[in-house]
Amino acid sequence: MKAIIITVVGLFLSHLVVYGQDKGPQSRIVLEEEEITLFDGNGKEIEKRYVSNLGESKKKILNQVKMQVHNKLKVKTEQEVQSKQLWKKAKEETEKLIKIKELKNPKLKFFGPDGAIVKELMLDNEVKRHRTPSKETKELIEVSSENIQVAILPETANVVGIIEMNTVTAFDSRIASTMTFEYLNAEGDVLWIVKEIKPWVNSAPRRGALFSSDGKRVALAIAHLPDNADMELYPNWVVVYDGAGKELVRFGPYDQLRNLYLSKNGRYGYFATGNSSVCFSVDDKNLHEFPQERVKRELNGVIRVSETGRCTINRVVLPTEINEDGEPKTKVVREFSFKE
């Protein structure tokens, strides 16, 4: 891993000390991917905060801003915003209160039990371009090399996963690529590594690795890709590991793989292939397939799995209704349950 490591001694941040149940202060990992600037509504800046893109801190801030906007518009729910056609006004009021900026180089900060930063990792995010002679024609061609690191934090555990992607392309064709997943503890030490992961299964790099809430299980999409292979059609596997890096279950190979998901308790999950949507049970090493043609017929079919092993195909209710989170309501049209 090529991340820049910075060790800091004696920096005390009391508001970051975490207390466990009957365990006293504990270590903590913080991921900073975005800069959030909050305003008073009249253009005056109140404060800046640094958060992860999918973290709870960002969700809380966005919910607070939403409540302020609802109060301003004299509505109570997102359904009212939609039904009263106030979405444009809501967007304008939101932009007065908050500005979100993506950081060029995200940071991982590791805090000790006393609240001091003990290690900081600067995650790579760079693309380099140069011209080099072609082996066949000797003409100069443009070659680009991309090095990206993405961090994934479980909800409640002091561990973190880092996906690192190194790709070289020429004439818009991939000529070399390496992808790895690293599992780090609360001190920032790498405990184990998996190579040849496929991080774009959900159209976003971090979705190539899914943690259980406690960090003791992680699902990875594995793709053994030689240079110049078609990344979408080469054999892929879904593999679930425990916190020690031991393989618990493996499904595959599949020609195509996307939409990987692992339940919060790490016992169940789902993914999609070129022919079906698949639910799986980690403990039973079992799976259930819904044929893709059936899913497509079910009008915007969406697959879901619960922490008890109930697997469903859902469709959007038409005419479209909005739930409390502002998302379209769905209803179950197909289901299957694993035996607990």
The predicted model gives 309-321 an average pLDDT of: 77
Q: Does residue 199 or residue 128 have the better pLDDT? A: 128
CB atoms near residue 150 (< 10 Å) = 23
Per-residue pLDDT band for 171 (boundaries 50, 70, 90) equals low
Q: Does residue 91 or residue 147 have the better pLDDT? A: 91
> What's the pLDDT at 39?
96
Quote the CA–CA distance of 286 and 339 in Å, as a whole number. 10
> What's the pLDDT at 20?
45
pLDDT digits (tens, 9 = 90+) for 86-125: 989 999 999 999 999 999 889 999 999 999 999 999 998 7
DSSP 270-291: EEE-SSEEEEEETTTTEEEEEE
- The closest of 126, 109, 107 to 118, measured between CA atoms, is 109
pLDDT digits (tens, 9 = 90+) for 76-91: 988 889 889 998 999 9
> What's the pLDDT at 304?
85
Full-model pTM: 0.76
> What's the pLDDT at 190?
96
Per-residue pLDDT band for 3 (boundaries 50, 70, 90) equals very low
SS3 159: coil
For the chain, what are the domain ranges?
1-119, 124-266, 286-340
pLDDT digits (tens, 9 = 90+) for 246-291: 999 999 888 888 888 999 999 999 998 888 889 999 999 999 998 8
Percent of the chain with pLDDT over 70: 75
Which tokens belong to 81?
């915003």
Quote the CA–CA distance of 226 and 26 in Å, as a whole number. 43
- The closest of 255, 248, 292, 294 to 269, measured between CA atoms, is 248
Average pLDDT for the chain:
80
Say how many Å lie between the first and final Cα of the chain, rounded.
40
> What's the pLDDT at 25?
74
Percent of the chain with pLDDT over 90: 42
Per-residue pLDDT band for 239 (boundaries 50, 70, 90) equals very high
Quote the CA–CA distance of 318 and 322 in Å, as a whole number. 11
